[in-house]
Amino acid sequence: MTESLKRHVPSLSRLRFIVQIFTLFLTVWGSTVVGYYASEKISTALPALSCAYDKSNGGYCVLIPLQHQMHHRIGESLVKAQQITQQVIMPTVIALGTFLIFFAVLGKAFCGWVCPLGTIQEWINKIGRRFGRPQHLLDSKTAKRTRPVKWLILLGLVFLVPILAGMGIAPHSMGNPYCDICPSRIATTLLTADTEQVALKMTDMPSMVLSAIANVMTGFVLIAALAMRQPFCRICPMLAMNATFRHLSLTRLVKIENEKCEKCGICTKACPMDIPEIHHHHGLKAFNEDCTLCGRCAEFCPDDGIIKVKFGPWNLFSSSRDYYKNRVRNESPEGTVKPLKFVRKPAVSSDVA
């Protein structure tokens, strides 16, 4: 390139100066040049500081709408989210977290060892057997068909209906529908000589219907317990909750695979929940969702170390032939098995039923 040509080519700095002069006029006085409509469209989108570009509309560059959105949208939404966190999420997390802490220790033993309604049903069943009441055992198909009910109650009455009530779709009195029909509420308060829970609630129609259902269900459960083991436990939503987290607990049921299994079936007959899986399966499948960790299957397994109740790596109880023999001998003074009358089922031992 010749020297004369180089003198006529502007340097980069000079070019930038020219652009700066042009854009200065554009960004300061540009709105008056392009008109109100065009300036409104360009306003708040300029990727540079331009406070004088569109004084009529109050928009200058992209930082203005961003700050506005941060203030009126995101900021206020975060406040609402904080309120939701404090008022909704944290209480729910605390409630569920506290449950999981307790559950991590005892697991499903809450059902078989702690639940007062489970204890009441078991004692009533013992009274029924003592007075020779014929006992009804569920076959494997019926037991399996019953299992979805507890999940429907958990999802429908514990979660869905209360949410709908909070949204205003369902009546406000439907805020805790499961508790309003739970037989444990009536059965346990009656033990304290409190009859208030038996009375029908007449505040509105939903409350009256729910309290009527509660009375009918409580009566049915208490009467059915005379002839059936743990009738309500099979559809209890707490059993479903415990089933969801059963493999997270340190306390669990373990069954070791053995060639002698699937022959006697005593474990299923001993199970108050009539669980066929404890007879036919081993490993995780043997620890069924309906298991309450009562330990009766381990008690009545006639082989050593096949079924165990464990806490972490430690055995809390393990099946034993000697234990089984002593159990039968202690419950039958004559050293023989006393048959019970079962409806449409083969006779089983009184120590197993």
Chain length of the chain: 353
Which pLDDT score is estimated for 54? 61
Measured CA to CA, the distance from residue 249 to residue 87 in angstroms comes to 29
* 202 shares a domain with 261: no
251 bridge partner residues: 311
Which pLDDT score is estimated for 349? 44
Q: In the chain, how many domains are there?
A: 3
Measured CA to CA, the distance from residue 218 to residue 181 in angstroms comes to 8
Which pLDDT score is estimated for 49? 63
Taking the CA atoms of 224, 225, 228 and 230 in sequence, report the sign of the dihedral they define. positive
Which pLDDT score is estimated for 253? 92
* Residue 352, domain member (yes or no): no
* 231 shares a domain with 183: yes
Q: Are 290 and 234 in contact (CB under 8 A)?
A: yes
Which pLDDT score is estimated for 273? 92
Which pLDDT score is estimated for 325? 84
- Give the closest residue to 234 by CA, choosing from 139, 126, 121, 150: 150
Measured CA to CA, the distance from residue 304 to residue 322 in angstroms comes to 8
Which pLDDT score is estimated for 99? 80
Count of alpha carbons within 13 angstroms of residue 35, beta-carbon side: 2
Task: Give the chain's end-to-end CA distance (angstroms, integer).
Answer: 109
Cα→Cα distances 100→103, 106, 245, 249, Å? 5, 10, 8, 9
Cβ neighbours, 10 Å, residue 289: 17
* 157 shares a domain with 191: yes
Decide: helix, strand or coil at residue 315.
strand
* 235 shares a domain with 193: yes
Domain extent at residue 323: 245-331
- Give the closest residue to 301 by CA, choosing from 322, 316, 315: 322
* 176 shares a domain with 142: yes
Q: Are 304 and 319 in contact (CB under 8 A)?
A: yes
* 290 shares a domain with 211: no
* 230 shares a domain with 297: no
Compute CA 129 distance to the chain's CA centroid, rounded to the nearest angstrom: 35
pTM for this model (two decimals): 0.68
Q: DSSP per residue over 9-29, as a string? A: SPPHHHHHHHHHHHHHHHHHH
For 227, counting Cβ atoms within 10 Å of its Cβ (0-12 exposed, 13-18 middle, 19+ buried), the class is middle
Cα→Cα distances 177→97, 153, 238, Å? 23, 10, 14
Measured CA to CA, the distance from residue 197 to residue 102 in angstroms comes to 28
Which residue among 240, 274, 309 closes a domain? 240
* 223 shares a domain with 122: yes
pLDDT in tens, 212-254: 999 999 999 999 999 999 999 999 998 998 888 888 888 989 9
Measured CA to CA, the distance from residue 56 to residue 64 in angstroms comes to 14
From first to last of its 353 residues, the chain has per-residue pLDDT tens of: 555 555 555 678 888 888 888 877 777 776 666 665 555 555 555 566 666 666 665 555 666 666 767 777 888 788 887 877 777 778 878 877 878 887 888 888 888 898 999 999 999 998 998 888 888 888 888 888 999 999 999 999 999 999 898 888 888 888 889 989 999 989 998 888 888 888 888 888 988 999 999 999 999 999 999 999 999 999 999 899 888 888 888 898 999 887 777 677 888 888 999 998 888 888 888 899 999 998 888 888 888 889 999 998 999 999 888 888 887 766 532 223 343 333 434 444 444 44
* 187 shares a domain with 163: yes
* Token pair for 271: 């199970």
Cβ neighbours, 10 Å, residue 266: 20
* 230 shares a domain with 206: yes
Compute CA 38 distance to the chain's CA centroid, rounded to the nearest angstrom: 57
Which pLDDT score is estimated for 247? 85
- Give the closest residue to 222 by CA, choosing from 274, 183, 192, 273: 183
Compute CA 246 distance to the chain's CA centroid, rounded to the nearest angstrom: 11
* 206 shares a domain with 249: no
Which residue among 61, 77, 97 closes a domain? 61
* Residue 111, domain member (yes or no): yes
* Residue 92, domain member (yes or no): no
In one letter, which amino acid is 271?
A: C
Q: Are 283 and 310 in contact (CB under 8 A)?
A: no
Angle, helix 183-190 to helix 205-224, in steps of 10 degrees: 70
* 250 shares a domain with 222: no
Angle, helix 205-224 to helix 116-130, in steps of 10 degrees: 40
* Alpha-carbon dihedral 317, 248, 176, 272, rounded to 10 degrees: -30
* Residue 74, domain member (yes or no): no
Measured CA to CA, the distance from residue 60 to residue 54 in angstroms comes to 6
Measured CA to CA, the distance from residue 10 to residue 242 in angstroms comes to 80
